[in-house]
Amino acid sequence: MFATLAAVAAAVLLAASGPADHAGVRGAQTIGGDAALRLYADALSAITQRAVFASGDREQVVGRTLAAYLAASDPYSGFMNRDEYARYRALQKGPHGGIGMELERRRDGATLCYPYHGGPADAAGIKAGERLMSIDGTSVAGKPLPVLASLATGREGTAVRIEVASANGGTRSVNVNRARVDPAAVSIGAAGALRVLRIETFTQTTRSEVEFALRRWDRNSPVVIDLRGCGGGDFYAAVDTSMLFLAKGAPIVSVSGREGTRLYSSTLEQDPPVQPVFIWQDEASASAAEVFIGALTGNARAVSVGTHSAGKGSRQDIVELADGSALILTTGYLSTPRGAAFDGRGLAPMRPLAASADTADYVRASSPAKQMPSNDAE
């Protein structure tokens, strides 16, 4: 989901990643003579009345049916029952203790961890890219990201047990102490002779923080933006931040769904930076980060350096149902300004590096003197 769970749930977890709208369903439509609905109603009655394994709770059967169908059809879609959705919404109404970690759902169903630097999860030793297995003994398999955010959130100072798996398959459990988390989305550091602007996640303050940094940037120094390990963040924050580097009217990203295609373009009246711009990316650069990468490289405003990005290019909406439950549905796919859909594919860097490349390799590849490749980089 693009409206991150980190932002929605007081910086508890990300979700992942698309622009997550809450589209309420006011009431169920009556569809007379619909054979499919009659078939489902007949099957539901037979299961709840005759099956020896069924509890007789029709709502439970319907919920599990929806969850199973959505999980089998799309790794980013899901169902939240009334209690789960109520807990998720409660996270938005006051301060809670979180673990300071974004989550990213991959197409194979895996849920990857991206701890905020200096946050509780980072302090507990959880590494970026590790696979989340369980929260306090509850398996994360098949559960929507908002539900996982709810499980990880609690009273400040309390502990939650997180089980993770590393790339080699080894698992371990760690205790993470919940705390109030206010991640620094943007920071500035140095790598070799380069100043580097690091974006950890895209939030509502990212554009203003980046704009502040650009005003004080040496006009003779390239602008290097480090998006390695950036699991995404808020879709609209990525769109807004892209505008700082683009001319008014420049295309940023397209979202294609059942109702057509919507193009997001720059509306900012300003002169973009004159310095060369380099974007560092890797296999963990996902979602909103990919929107930003595609916007700048697709308008020839930046050179991307690194490895293929994650390939999370879809939009999710939360659809509230009449009984207080909710669906999470993938309702659109994203395309770069050049029309390249990147969901499941990722974005190829313009200056590729090996997967084992370190920061020194990125620095060497970020020389304005090098000839810019003419390929599409998508």
Helices 35-50, 58-73: inter-axial angle, 10-degree rounding: 120
Q: Nearest Cα to 222, choosing from 301, 151, 147?
A: 301
Whether residue 40 contacts residue 26, with contact meaning beta carbons closer than 8 Å, is answered with no
User: Where do we find the tokens 């994203």?
Assistant: 334
Query: Tell me, what's the pLDDT at 214?
Result: 94
- DSSP-derived secondary structure letter, 130: P
Q: Please name the residues in contact with 191: beta carbons below 8 A apart, sequence gap of 6 or more.
A: 224, 359, 360, 362, 363
Q: Which residues of the chain have pLDDT under 70?
A: 1-33, 94, 369-378
Residue type, 58: R
Query: Tell me, what's the pLDDT at 84?
Result: 93
Whether residue 260 contacts residue 204, with contact meaning beta carbons closer than 8 Å, is answered with no
Determine the Cα–Cα distance for residues 128 and 310; give it in Å rounded to an integer: 13
Where exactly are the structural domains of the chain? Answer: 186-314+331-365
* Domain 186-314+331-365: homologous superfamily in CATH: 2-enoyl-CoA Hydratase; Chain A, domain 1 (3.90.226.10)
Interval 332-351: pLDDT, tens: 999 999 999 999 999 999 99
Radius of gyration of the chain (CA): 22
pTM strictly above 0.85: no
Residue type, 66: L
Q: Nearest Cα to 62, choosing from 75, 76, 81, 77?
A: 81
Query: Tell me, what's the pLDDT at 370?
Result: 64
**Can you read off the two tokens belonging to residue 242?**
């892209």
Interval 191-225: pLDDT, tens: 999 999 999 889 999 999 999 999 999 999 999 99
Determine the Cα–Cα distance for residues 193 and 249; give it in Å rounded to an integer: 34
